Structure formats: C-alpha cells, structure tokens
Amino acid sequence: MTDFPKDKLRVGFVGSGFIAHFHLRAMLGVRHVEVTGVHSRKPENRARVVAAAAELGLGRCRAHDSLESLFRAEDVDAIWILSPNDTRLAVMRRLHAEVKAGRSKAFAVACEKPLARTVAEAREMLHLAEDAGLNHGYLENQVFATPVQRGKEIIWRRAALATGRPYLARAAEEHSGPHEPWFWQGDKQGGGVLSDMMCHSVEVARHLLTEPGAPRGSLKVRSVNGTVANLKWTRPHYADQLRERFGAEVDYRNRPAEDFARANISLEDGDGNPLMIEATTSWAYVGAGLRIQLELLGPEYAMEFNSLGTGLKIFMSRAVTGRQGEDLVEKQNAEQGLMPVLEDETGVYGYTDENRHMVECFRKGKTPLETFHDGLAVVELLMGLYKSAETGRTVTFPDPELETYIPVVARPSIRP
Ligand SMILES: NC(=O)c1ccc[n+]([C@@H]2O[C@H](COP(=O)([O-])OP(=O)(O)OC[C@H]3O[C@@H](n4cnc5c(N)ncnc54)[C@H](OP(=O)(O)O)[C@@H]3O)[C@@H](O)[C@H]2O)c1
C-alpha cells in the first residue's frame, strides 16, 4: 500500500543517452525529486549519468547492470523509460513482472515518445501499466513547452471566451536528421520522421485545440490524410554520407525510411464544430538547428511560436573557429554567422515543466495530464497517417485495421 503524498519521488532511468541527459538537466527545476538509479547496457554510459546526477546535486544515483536490479532497488519509486523504441515493450514487460511478483516497489512509470511503434504495442504498454497498478505518464514535452502553456492559457481565457473556440492548429518540427543509427532504421524505430517527430506535432496541436480542463475524448478524430516522401537522404551522396557516419546498418540506398511527412487531421468538438490540424515534419531541414513552429487560429485571433525566433542571437565572424557543438541550439548546424540561441532549452522545449508535472502527480497519486492512454491515441493517429500515405486515401476513424497495421518501412520483409 502506498501512502500519498510522498515527501519526494525517487526516479530510476532506463536509458542513458541524449534524452536521459536532457531529463537530468530538467530535474534541476523540479522539487521533491531525486534521481537514484540508472540502467543501460554499457557501464560507461551508466557512469556518465551517475556523474551528471552527482554534479547537478540530484541525489545519490546508483548504476544498475540489469533491469531487475533497478526495478528491485529499495530506493526507486518510479521508472522513466528513456531507451530506444524497440526496447520499450521488453522493459515494460519486465517491470510488470517484477511489480506483479512483489519484487519491485515501483508505483509509477513514465515513457518517452512515441509510446510504441504500433497500436498493438501501445495497447500492450497501457495494459501492462494498468494491470500492474502503476500510475503512468506519457512524456510529450511539447505539451509542457512554456510558449505552449502560456499561449494556450491566454488564447482560451481571453480570445476564445470572447469570440469562440479555436478551429485550426498548425504544428511543424524539423531538423537535419537524428543522431543515432537506430532512429534511421524503420524496423527498429517504427518508421521514419512520421513516427519520430509527427508524434510531437499531432499531440501538441490536439492539446492546443482542446478546451482547458476538458478530457481528450472531447475532440473526436473524424479522418486523417497523410503523405510521406524521401526528399534528401535517399540522394546517393547523402545515402553514402549516412553509411559512412553510421555503418552498413543504415542503408538508405536500399532501405530508406521517410524523411518528410505531412498530416491533415479532421476533428469535431462536442458541439459538432469542425476542427483541423495541419502538421509537417522533416529530417531534411538545414537551418540553424531544430525548428518547432506552432500556430493556433480562431475567429478573431492567432497565436504563433517559432523556436528559432529567439530573443538572444549571437553573431560570430568567419574568424571565429572552433569545434562543432550543440551548445547554442539542439541539432545545431553551424558555429558562425548570426545564430539564434535558446538560453533555456529545457524550459522552452517543455522538459522542466513536464518532469515537474509527472513528479508532482506521481508523488501525490494523481493522474497526469498525459498518460499512456494519450500515447496510444497518438500512435493510432500515426498509424492512420501511415496507412493513408500507403493507400493514397483518407482514413476514416475509427478504423479497426489500425490495430494490426505496421508502416511499410517498419515491415521487416519489405524493401520499399
Ligand atoms: N522528447 C523528445 O523530444 C525526444 C528527443 C530525443 C529522443 N526522444 C526519445 O527518447 C528515447 C531515447 O532517445 P535518445 O535520443 O536518448 O537515444 P540515444 O541517444 O540513442 O540513447 C538511447 C539510450 O538507451 C540505452 N539503451 C539501448 N538499448 C537499451 C536496452 N535494451 N536497455 C536499456 N537501455 C538501453 C543506450 O545506452 P546503452 O548503449 O548503454 O544501453 C542509450 O543510453 C527514444 O524513444 C526517443 O524517441 C525524445
């Protein structure tokens, strides 16, 4: 029996890569939390998380050489799943088994986006969490991005109240391509950029269109229409570049996944008003770095945000030379010229408030704003979009075929 509220939440990480370190930095802005454990396969990666947690003063973090050891630790209350998409289900099945057998005292789990690679996998993630009695949170940072929270609050309180609800949300996320080989492999990742980044765009757009405090079911998805394309990385020069960078396992001459995706999603609110989401994502954008663009439009108002339109900009002449880095903005592409700088990436991208929200909900035994139910609903949308792109038709919701649908690029035996 767990008594709430807990004085503090002790978090264990599964995964020690890019996003684990983002979450660690974000935890600096969260109270009542310690990061007490980490498991990944390589000791040196685990050691880096332990060292970073110590340096940030986030508690005494211990490295665990197995999932079992992490889940059975006396000082771990909640698990953050931050490992690659193809490892999700094995991690969740193990956590479920340990909790059900009474060997783990963990009472909550949070999982990075996307919740899973298919609807069937996402449904099992949800079932395992609920069957084990775990509180669950879906880590969709853009819902907690500071401009999204502030913009949504103002639009709905002032503009929508006076002139009517918003009807159109636009969301785009683009960068020049992911940092690790598994992202580029359709079967491992679950798809290409549509799976990897459209998950953000559809969920943040839905969130902006939803009346504050109303449940997810208040908006009904009517239909989805998607397009995918290979714009850049299948060009021979760039396919060879990928192979040189990541090895033979990333073979974009013969086995590419899409680097561009577009979505039109038709929805309806409780009063039957039509609503639209337009989203576009790509791994083929070479600008200063990662660009998130969001818009929310209604009858007498509009909101817009562009993550590269920063207040802080730094100019460096061609005489300024140095190492390549991501120290100005995520997925940075240059170190010279006029460069935008996000001075608080963890805050603006939403990681700080996301972690604060999850920690407070888990500590108090409350249901988070984003749960595995939302993660499942996102995967249903993504599969609908992939199916639409494959068939060249609009997909009407609900579509029972999505239960077993696997995107073309994720099917092991098919080479597009
Ligand atoms: N919210 C966002 O915007 C955002 C951004 C980036 C990533 N993500 C999501 O976060 C997740 C991780 O992405 P990432 O960028 O951190 O990837 P990454 O840099 O490749 O890191 C993956 C980590 O998982 C560990 N790992 C691999 N297989 C494992 C296994 N079987 N068991 C335990 N640990 C394992 C790896 O360490 P070892 O080699 O030591 O095992 C590595 O530390 C993905 O689901 C991704 O979609 C979200």
CA-CA distance, 381 to 318, in Å (whole number)?
45
Closest by CA to 197, choosing from 225, 219, 173, 220, is 173
Q: Which residue has the tokens 């994502």?
A: 281
User: In this structure, are 17 and 149 located in the same domain?
Assistant: no
Q: What is the CATH number of the domain that holds 30?
A: 3.40.50.720
6-18 b/e (C-beta count within 10 Å ≥ 16 → b): beebbbbbbbbbe
pLDDT given for residue 330 in this prediction = 85
Q: CB under 6 Å to ligand 1: residues?
A: 14-20, 39-42, 45, 82-85, 87, 112-113, 141, 180
Q: Determine the Cα angle at 330 with ends 328 and 331, to 5°.
A: 110
Q: At 229, which amino acid appears?
A: A
Query: What 3-state DSSP class applies to 74?
Result: coil
- Asked if residue 325 is part of any domain, the answer here is yes
Q: Which pTM was predicted?
A: 0.97
- The answer to whether residue 148 scores a pLDDT higher than 60 is yes
- Asked if residue 364 is part of any domain, the answer here is no
Q: At 197, which amino acid appears?
A: M
Please tell me the total count of domains within the chain. Answer: 2
Residue among 38, 42, 49, 83 whose CB has most ligand 1 atoms within 8 A, to mutate: 83
Domain span at 50: 9-113
Q: Which pLDDT tens digit goes with each residue over 77-110?
A: 999 999 999 999 999 999 999 999 999 999 999 9
Q: Which residue has the tokens 């996003």?
A: 19
User: In this structure, are 256 and 398 located in the same domain?
Assistant: yes
Q: To the nearest whole number, what is the mean pLDDT of the chain?
A: 96
pLDDT given for residue 229 in this prediction = 98
- When computed from its CA atoms, the radius of gyration of the chain, rounded to whole angstroms, is 21
Residue among 48, 68, 82, 189 whose CB has most ligand 1 atoms within 8 A, to mutate: 82
Q: Which pLDDT tens digit goes with each residue over 271-330?
A: 999 999 999 999 999 999 999 999 999 999 999 999 999 999 999 999 999 889 888 888
What is the pLDDT confidence band of residue 413, given thresholds at 50, 70 and 90? low
CA of 19 to the centre of ligand 1 (A): 7
- Asked if residue 345 is part of any domain, the answer here is yes
Over range 140-160, report the average pLDDT: 98
What is the pLDDT confidence band of residue 1, given thresholds at 50, 70 and 90? low
pLDDT given for residue 322 in this prediction = 87
Q: Which pLDDT tens digit goes with each residue over 199-227?
A: 999 999 999 999 999 999 999 999 999 99
The two structure tokens encoding residue 151:
């913009």
Residue among 13, 19, 202 whose CB has most ligand 1 atoms within 8 A, to mutate: 19
CA-CA distance, 234 to 239, in Å (whole number)?
5
- Asked if residue 363 is part of any domain, the answer here is no
User: In this structure, are 160 and 75 located in the same domain?
Assistant: no
- Asked if residue 125 is part of any domain, the answer here is no
